[in-house]
Structure 1
Amino acid sequence: MKRGGTRRAVVTGASSGIGAATVRQLRAAGWDVVGVARREDRLAALAAETGASFFVADLTRQADVDALAAHLAETGPLHAVVNNAGGAKGLDSVEGSDAADWQWMFEVNVIAVKRVISTLLPLLRDTVRAEGGGADIVTVTSIAGHVAYVGGGGYNAAKFAAHALTAVLRLELNGEPIRVIEIAPGMVHTEEFSLVRFGGDQARADAVYAEVPNPLSADDVAETIVHALGRPAHVDLDLIVVKPVAQSAPHLVAKGELRPRG
């Protein structure tokens, strides 16, 4: 499959963290990028910094996703979709957690991803038909979608669902030149993930990363996404799990200096 010319990607959740880092790194790699999020001020600042374009949308609203698709169709071909928007709320038990938190997590981590894929996949196909070559759908899940842990509850359930959605999509697209890539990060220290999870409690959010040597950064994950998109068109990195060395599993994270035993 051939690829040539400037390629264009959509990155959701682009106003901060992994999404913003992915916009920066894709632009540095020569991509045209459309950053998508709800916060226009942050998107505008990122666009001014990187030369990316942006579109303000709430991906839990189908009308917003439809408007995004119309904007993309009017402004050029689409070669890749990076589903990065998502989040967690709470660290409570299955019994004691708030069902409203679960509903929010399924809306942003699963249903919104389904909306984006269903709505933008026809645009990816249009590009393949017009240009040849292939296209890409990248979904950022989590190791929480592969390994359950105490307190994971709704976040485990949502990310397991996102993992399953991605796996089924890959089967459904068999025979088409469209790669389906899942990036499953472990502990990533961003400015907002744990803060949102703990309802704005900064001290509790900071405690998650206290004494953990070198948790992943947003740039680490963004670099992994850009690497996967940059492979030759016939090479599909189906699933990439990326964790800091200090983390063996969601529930097993070393504190303090890493050093050999014995």
Structure 2
Amino acid sequence: MMKIALITGATSGIGEACARRFAEGGYSLILTARRADKLAAVKAELEAKGTKVLTLVFDVRDAEAAKQAVDSIPAEWQNIDVLINNAGLALGLDKEYEGDPEDWNTMIDTNIKGLLTMTRLIVPAMVKRNEGHVINVGSVAGDAAYACGNVYCATKAAVKSISDGLRIDVADTAVRVTNLKPGLVETNFSNVRFHGDNERADKVYKGIKPLTGADIADVAFYAASAPKHVQIAEVLVLATHQANGNVIHREA
């Protein structure tokens, strides 16, 4: 019987790295994202290495599209072992009273409501089978707010509470829940946050060796690979010279 991992936001950053790591670990993959062309490229790469891949094109902000996509999963793919709720983003770095409400809505709809939608669609079958693992990609930003992070930090604090709440709700089952909280990871995260301003995005990682998507994927795979009686409930992963969301030592 094949092991199956469903990964949202699987075409870049941590999601794409998780796809590669779980493929290496022998999983078949259901990969979701908004862009069909990028999904097709990741699918082709992984299938060339022998991994079975099913792709679903939708935006997690669209609950009906997500439901239709999940409903379309063939019977042989429906016993999902691991759900990685990775799709998420930060937009803007402004004082709260100067923020863009559209950015707020996108972050809330993606980081919170999209995660809840996928949880609602996938977890009931895990509970029914009495097995499965949900890995939510949170952030160090969910532990404490930092300057101008306001709404993004709030969404990642919500991921922590949602993860904790789900863990309580499935405690009478063998379903496991992990909140994976990365610190500074060099992906396209900052480029998206700054709406394509590459120069500003590059400064985020200046003077420090940040984590990579592959580093976080390794931790996700470790959590999924733990013995069935072991639940890695929460993992905070930081670059060596990062102490928390606010304290980063940068070399001159």
TM-score after normalising by structure 2: 0.94
* Residue 6 (1) aligns with residue 2 (2): yes
- Among candidates 28, 35, 42, match of residue 32 of structure 1: 28
- Among candidates 241, 244, 249, match of residue 246 of structure 1: 241
* Residue matched to 1:260: none
2:85 and 2:136 in contact (8 A); partners too: yes
Deviation per residue, 1:158-185 (Å, 9 max, x gap): 1111111111111111101100111000
**One-letter code aligned to 1:57:** F
**One-letter code aligned to 1:61:** D
Shift of 1:246: 1.0
- Among candidates 129, 136, 141, match of residue 139 of structure 1: 136
Shift of 1:73: 5.1
Within a 5 Å distance, the mapping from 1:217-232 to structure 2 comes to 217-232=212-227
**One-letter code aligned to 1:221:** I
Distance (whole Å) between structure 1 residues aligned to residue 182 and residue 197 of structure 2: 23
Shift of 1:75: 3.7
Q: What secondary structure sits across from 1:248 in the alignment?
A: coil
* Residue matched to 2:127: 125
Q: What secondary structure sits across from 2:93 in the alignment?
A: coil
Distance (whole Å) between structure 2 residues aligned to residue 88 and residue 171 of structure 1: 28
Q: What secondary structure sits across from 1:138 in the alignment?
A: strand
* Residue 48 (1) aligns with residue 44 (2): yes
Tell me how many residue pairs correspond in the alignment.
246
> For the aligned residues, what is the CA RMSD?
1.3
Q: What secondary structure sits across from 2:204 in the alignment?
A: helix
Shift of 1:221: 0.3
Shift of 1:186: 0.2
2:127 and 2:170 in contact (8 A); partners too: no
Distance (whole Å) between structure 2 residues aligned to residue 120 and residue 135 of structure 1: 10
Q: What secondary structure sits across from 1:247 in the alignment?
A: coil
Shift of 1:255: 1.0
* Residue matched to 1:189: 186
Distance (whole Å) between structure 2 residues aligned to residue 17 and residue 60 of structure 1: 19
Deviation per residue, 1:173-205 (Å, 9 max, x gap): 110110011100000001x21011001111000
* Residue matched to 2:90: 88
Which range is displaced more, 64-73 or 155-164? 64-73
* Residue matched to 2:99: 97
Shift of 1:74: 2.9
TM-score after normalising by structure 1: 0.91
Distance (whole Å) between structure 1 residues aligned to residue 92 and residue 190 of structure 2: 9
Distance (whole Å) between structure 1 residues aligned to residue 186 and residue 251 of structure 2: 16
Deviation per residue, 1:66-116 (Å, 9 max, x gap): 122212353422111000000001111111112221111111100000000
**One-letter code aligned to 2:54:** S
Deviation per residue, 1:23-81 (Å, 9 max, x gap): 00101000111110001111111111112221111111112211222123534221110
What is the percent sequence identity of the aligned residues?
A: 31
Specify every segment of 5 or more residues in structure 2 that has no aligned partner in the other structure, as ranges: 48-52
* Residue matched to 2:50: none
Distance (whole Å) between structure 1 residues aligned to residue 144 and residue 238 of structure 2: 13
Distance (whole Å) between structure 2 residues aligned to residue 226 and residue 68 of structure 1: 25
1:73 and 1:123 in contact (8 A); partners too: no
2:21 and 2:217 in contact (8 A); partners too: yes
1:72 and 1:78 in contact (8 A); partners too: no
Distance (whole Å) between structure 2 residues aligned to residue 122 and residue 220 of structure 1: 30
Q: What secondary structure sits across from 1:176 in the alignment?
A: coil
**One-letter code aligned to 2:100:** D
